Amino acid sequence: MIQNRFVIYIFFHFIFVFNVYALDLTIDGVLDEKEWHLATTITDNYQVIPQTLALQNSNFSYQIITTKTGLFIGLKANTVSALRVRTQENDSVFSNDHFQLMLDMKNNAQQSYVFAINHQGYYFDGIYDVDKELDLDWNTQWEYKVKSYDNSWVAEVFIPWQAMSFGIEVQNQFGLYVSHFDENTNATYASVPANQQMNSFFQLFSKYSTTIVTESSFDLFPYVSFNRDVLQDSNNGSIGAEVFWRPTKGQRLSATVNPDFGQVESDELVVNFSAVENFFSEKRPFLNDNQSLFNVTGPETLTLVHSPRIGGNAFYDEEYDSELNSALKYTVDFDNYDFGIMSAFENTTSRGDGRDFLAMRGQYSFGASKLGISINHVNTPTIDRQSTVLSTDLHFSISENSSLNLGIIKTNIEEENSYEEDIGWWLRGSSDISEQHTHEFSLFSYGDNLQLNDIGFVKRVNRKQFEYEYQYQIPDLESTFIREIVFAFETEFKTNFQDEKLPHVFGAGVELLIEDEFEYQFSLEMISSGFDDLITRGNHSLWLPSSQNLEFEVASPEYLWGQYEFALTVGTEGFDDYFYDMQGSLAQQFSENLHISLAVSQYNSDSWLDWNEGNTISEFNFTEQSVELSMDYQVDDNQELRIKFEAVIGKATSLNSFVVLQDGSAQPLTNSDDFSFAENAFQLRYKYSLSKLTAFYLSYGFGGEYEDELAKFGKRNLYKRAIHAKNAHNLFAKVRLHF
């Protein structure tokens, strides 16, 4: 029945699409022009979350008008009660009533541009790809306006074709997906019976034909910034520019000189004692622009081009530090072929020349599948290192419901007259052959000497691993108490190239959404005994006993005033002793313009293991606390004020010290010292938006770090000492313009 209705629905889309060439429409949130009266109003929509796929005809409606220059969309959401107000920054996901538009401009089921608006007029834009990942770092210029009424709200949107990069013919099809999150029912409704977690998602987009004028565009973003370093009593000013030129709809050339990398958005504060590097997303405008072609990912967080490497610290040279001097990027999109090249050059350092980066990517699409080849090269003169990474990847759509992803990667490293190479590969699969059952697996092998972190990122190598996840959902349970239930199971088997047995993982969980909109999650994870081959940073591996943990989470409904969440994990770790991890958060909307959130956590372990040096480790009774406070205040439509404060403290009481022997056993040594630490970061940021892509920023921030080897201070004292011990203290101002 749903399929028949869907065919009729698509038929009417083709019949009634209104394609005009010159319009005089005002983007004001009022659909009163004659063109809107002539355009077809589409009212059929489907409940896609929870995934009943039931046909609706009263939740929302939409109209579209295509022109040679862009796409006009009129959206109307029906409401039954007052909607939640949430003050937040743009370019972040919404928790209240909103629309989301997705455009597959190449109509090849590989990726879509995302445009979202909520009933307050906040927005975000990004790119969603076939790997089911949403990248909000992408930004572009588009127009919208929102108007609220007693029982509905309306959004009027104009998206120019030149805002997106694509390579369709003079007249061709594009795919469209419209969804509405209805906060009154806590459900999502869409224009087609599909949601983003289904393998058939892209294939079910509604199809539209249009004629597009090939117009060139040129955008210039000059900037001026000023930084006052309070600690060093020094001032620093900078001037630079970014240029974006689109000679045709399928080509884009961008360049930057002395690029605008002033930090106006702070990274999260993370204290990391592990052997795994922290992963931070890219926040710099130039490196986010038109970057999706280079975004190739694999299991274990493998990313071929991790742009924060550029103009940052070198992974293989701990003493290296430089800034980006200039960069160039060119991409071209044809019907089935895409090609891109990016090069970047860093400033000269006190130790010698800066690094040079080169990334090239070619991609061929056939149907809903794609085949790509990538070549990355990095020159690091300070350590006479040349890194070349070759890779190929295939995303193959077996059917609308099943897909496979295969990748092969080879690294070649030359450093100080030595040569080293290694290979890695992965195979991932996903299948949702029914509406309730989902299967996913990944199988990968990353060689012991697979070195791609000159420009890429991978959590860890020296792995041969298999993972499997199964999920069974009942989206519309016939119960007066439970609305939706999801069962999940996962397992993980792994070893390394030294044939050491690494801990296997078995997990099971259940998620419940009850009728009053509370969400509960229970999970149990069993971890077998095995070697930890990371803790000693490449020295002897440590044999650990089996462990287990139990997790409970609860999230309240989104009330008009805000929401609260709580999570608790308890179990065993280390040398078979207990730990717990508690996290709680409270978010409250104090007025229409003021939103404050508070998050706190505490972790305690009776057997926390940390590396000393070489083959020696220590066992501690360890406690870590954190607090995060943020405030968003919307002064008016163009002005935002944000305050963010984070602090982390920890105390470690020594229990034992050990030397790890070759067989993995731990031989006791003399106890190590106790220690404590504290870190904090504060930022106050004011933003005045001149337009969607231009703004004036003024920020004040400081950060402190304190360490005490005797651990003699209490927790309250540690918070105070972190604030007093300022390691960074800056006042920063920046103007970024658009011409």
- Coil, helix or strand at residue 37: helix
Instruction: Classify residue 88 as exposed, middle or buried by CB count within 10 Å of its CB (0-12, 13-18, 19+).
Output: buried
Per-residue confidence at 11, pLDDT binned at 50, 70, 90?
very low
The pLDDT assigned to 266 comes to: 57
Q: Share the mean pLDDT of the chain.
A: 87
**What average pLDDT does this structure show over 597-606?**
96
User: What is d(CA 63, CA 16) in angstroms, rounded to the nearest whole number?
Assistant: 10
DSSP for residue 161: G
Strands (E), 447-576: 463-474, 482-495, 505-514, 519-527, 530-532, 542-544, 547-555, 562-573
SS (H, E, C) 177-229: EEEEEECCCCEEEECCCCCCCCCCCHHHCEEEEEECCCCCEEEEEEEEEEEEE
- Of the chain, the percentage scoring pLDDT greater than 90 comes to 53
DSSP annotation of 367: T
pLDDT tens-digit map of 409-433: 999 999 988 999 999 999 999 998 7
Tell me the C-alpha distance between 45 and 57, whole Å: 6
- Residues 670 and 618: their CA atoms lie apart, in Å, by 10
pLDDT at 10 over 50: no
Residue 334: which pLDDT band, with cuts at 50, 70 and 90? confident
Contact 684, 697 (CB under 8 A): no
pLDDT category of residue 20 using cuts at 50, 70 and 90: very low
Please spell the DSSP secondary structure of 395-413, one letter per residue: EEE-SSSEEEEEEEEEEEE
pLDDT band at 23 (very low <50, low <70, confident <90, very high): low
Angle at 300 (CA atoms; ends 295, 302), nearest 5 degrees: 25
Biggest distance spanned by C-alpha atoms of the chain: 85
- Distances in Å between the Cα of 595 and the Cα atoms of 182, 633, 686, 692 are 21, 7, 15, 22
Cα–Cα distance, 630 to 682 (Å, whole number): 10
Segment 186-212, tens digit of pLDDT: 899 999 999 988 888 888 999 988 877
Residue 682 has pLDDT above 80, yes or no: yes
Rounded mean pLDDT, 584-608: 95
Q: Are strands 418-431 and 402-415 parallel, antiparallel or unpaired?
A: antiparallel
Q: With H, G, I as helix, E, B as strand and everything else as coil, classify residue 551.
A: strand
Share of the chain above pLDDT 70, in %: 93
Residue type, 421: E
β 356-366/726-736 pair status: unpaired
- 269 contact partners, CB below 8 Å, separation of at least 6: 626, 628, 646, 647, 648, 679, 680, 681, 703
Specify the pLDDT at position 72.
Answer: 95
Q: What is the pLDDT of residue 167?
A: 64
pLDDT in tens, 254-279: 888 887 555 555 556 666 667 777 77
330 pLDDT higher than 50: yes
Task: Look at residue 21 in the predicted model and tell me its pLDDT.
Answer: 39
Residue 487 is predicted with a pLDDT of 96
pLDDT of residue 168: 54
- Look at residue 6 in the predicted model and tell me its pLDDT: 41
What's the pLDDT score for residue 8? 37
For the chain, first and last CA: distance in Å?
Answer: 52
Partner residues linked to 451 by β-bridges: none
Tell me the pLDDT tens digit for each residue of 524-558.
999 999 999 999 988 999 999 999 999 999 999 99
Considering only CA atoms, which of 369, 442, 16, 420 is closest in space to residue 209? 16
Residue 545 in contact with residue 571, Cβ under 8 Å? no
The pLDDT tens digits for 82-134 are 899 999 888 888 889 999 999 998 888 888 999 999 999 999 998 888 777 78
Residue 457's pLDDT band (cuts 50, 70, 90): very high
Q: What is the pLDDT of residue 267?
A: 58
Residue type, 679: E
Count CA atoms closer than 13 A to 354's CA, side-chain side: 19
Is 711's pLDDT higher than 70? no
Say whether 617 sits in a helix, a strand or coil.
Answer: strand
pLDDT at 153: 95
On the question of pLDDT at 249 being above 80, the answer is: no
Distance CA 674, CA 711 (A): 6
Task: Give the C-alpha separation, 412 to 111, whole Å.
Answer: 31
Of the ranges 105-119, 597-611, 687-701, the best mean pLDDT one: 597-611
Instruction: Decide: helix, strand or coil at residue 363.
Output: strand
Task: Indicate if the pLDDT at residue 1 is higher than 70.
Answer: no
Task: Please say if the pLDDT value at position 247 is more than 50.
Answer: yes
Cβ neighbours of 597 (radius 10 Å): 18
Residue 721 contacts residue 678 (beta carbons within 8 Å): yes
What mean pLDDT do residues 692-706 have?
Answer: 86
User: Region 40-49: what's the mean pLDDT?
Assistant: 92
Cross-strand partners of 187: 182
Sign of CA dihedral 496, 498, 503, 505: positive
